Amino acid sequence: MIRLHDKYFKPFLSEKQILGAIQRMAQEIAVDYKDDTPIFVGVLNGAFMFVSDFLKEYPHSCEVSFVKLSSYQGLTSTGIVETLLDVPDNIEGRSIIILEDIIDTGRTLQKLVHLFSNTKVKEFKIASLFYKAEVYNGEYAIDYVGLEIPDKFIVGYGLDYKELGRNLREVYQLNQKYMINLVLFGKPGAGKGTQAQFLKEKYNLKHISTGDVFRYNIKNGTELGTLAKSYIDKGELVPDEVTIKMLEDEVDKNPDADGFIFDGFPRTTAQAEALDNFLESKDMKVDATIALEANDDILIERLLERGKNSGRSDDQDVSKIRNRFEEYSSKTAPLKDYYEEQHKFHSVNGIGSIDEITQRLTKVIDSL
């Protein structure tokens, strides 16, 4: 495994496999062009290694030139393809064979075809070392293909991740960890914390309870704790800016997690939107929001019982509990629609034994 910037990549194609594919391509093209002197046009920057190794294998008369286009930024194609080095001069009547390192969606290829469209060349062919057939949606047929590869981000042998990795002799594939990120949803006392304890073990997830983080800060007398206490004591929500920032910090503290259980967050639409944006910026997403449903009488009973043992001030007073329910109904309940629109909302009966409820949750998670 290698690391480039913030990402890990695992070996995918050996130098031998790559050179073997190039040799086959060179032989195939040589048969078609043995009586011609084609101009091979490499597409920079990615194709520089391919062009070099290809030419060493090409047995007949040929010329070489380059064009330079750019479209990738980081891991995803931006869709904007810029011409940085234009078509060579004096190509009228000549056979042009483009040497591309990789063709995926075909956007760069479209731009290339366009670049050469008015050049009155004799022939225009495309040879690509790597080809992602699954995602290619261009109309132009690829004339020569080295290796067909799945739709995974690759680096090495000329290809880069944010400019690193071009010098590698082999090709590596992005090591995408399979993550599950869950939002546990439900009124105070619904059992989110209890269930999170079981789920985090079973699925190897990091449990983040914003309520717990606040209580930890209160206990340690931090500035954040002092601020949060004034709201928590009244059964009100802590302001979004504070809570969102705190949540983001908690996620950032766990860069190696296989996923997260968000418990007690998001509680407002602004928090839900902030969470989506934040996760997206890290190539992550919420996979499911699971609501634990129970009626108010049962919840009040559970909370008062918990208050006796935990000493939580907000669990000992029915009026504070009711205030938390009201906060939930007005600010948090609308999130059901938010996640339903994304087809991520699941509802689970929260009444029953702890084990029964864990099983209901597990069934939902395993079906994702």
Where in the sequence numbering do the catalytic residues fall? 192, 267, 306, 312, 324
Whose CA is closest to 155, among 147, 144, 166?
Answer: 166
Residue whose tokens read 């086959």: 24
Nearer to ligand AMP, 157 or 265 (CB): 265
Query: Per-residue x/- marks for ligand AMP, 167-196, CB under 6 A?
Result: ---------------------x--------
As beta bridge partners, residue 70 has 82
Query: Per-residue x/- marks for ligand AMP, 301-330, CB under 6 A?
Result: -------------x---------x------
Query: Per-residue x/- marks for ligand AMP, 265-284, CB under 6 A?
Result: x-x---x-------------
Nearer to ligand AMP, 331 or 360 (CB): 331
* Contacts of 259 by beta carbon, 8 Å cutoff, 6+ apart: 179, 180, 181, 182, 203, 204, 205, 206, 287
Kindly state the helix (H) or strand (E) to which residue 78 belongs, with its residue range.
strand 76-85
SS3 content of the chain, % helix, strand, coil (to 5): 40, 25, 35
Pick the binder of ligand AMP from 106, 156, 165, 211 (CB under 6 A).
Answer: 211
Strand 7-13 and strand 2-4: the pairing is antiparallel
Say how far apart CA 131 and CA 101 lie, in whole Å: 9
238 binds ligand AMP (CB under 6 A): yes
231 binds ligand AMP (CB under 6 A): yes
Q: What is the DSSP letter of 314?
A: G
CA Rg value for the chain: 29
Judged by CB under 6 A, which stretch of 36-44, 73-81, 117-125, 263-271 contacts ligand AMP?
A: 263-271
Judged by CB under 6 A, which stretch of 102-110, 208-216, 287-295, 355-363 contacts ligand AMP?
A: 208-216
Judged by CB under 6 A, which stretch of 74-82, 167-175, 231-239, 288-296 contacts ligand AMP?
A: 231-239
# binding residues, ligand AMP (CB under 6 A)? 17
Residues 352-362 as b/e (b if ≥16 CB within 10 A, e otherwise) read: eeeeebbebbe
**Rule CB under 6 A: which residues touch ligand AMP?**
188, 210-211, 214, 231-232, 235-238, 243, 264-265, 267, 271, 314, 324
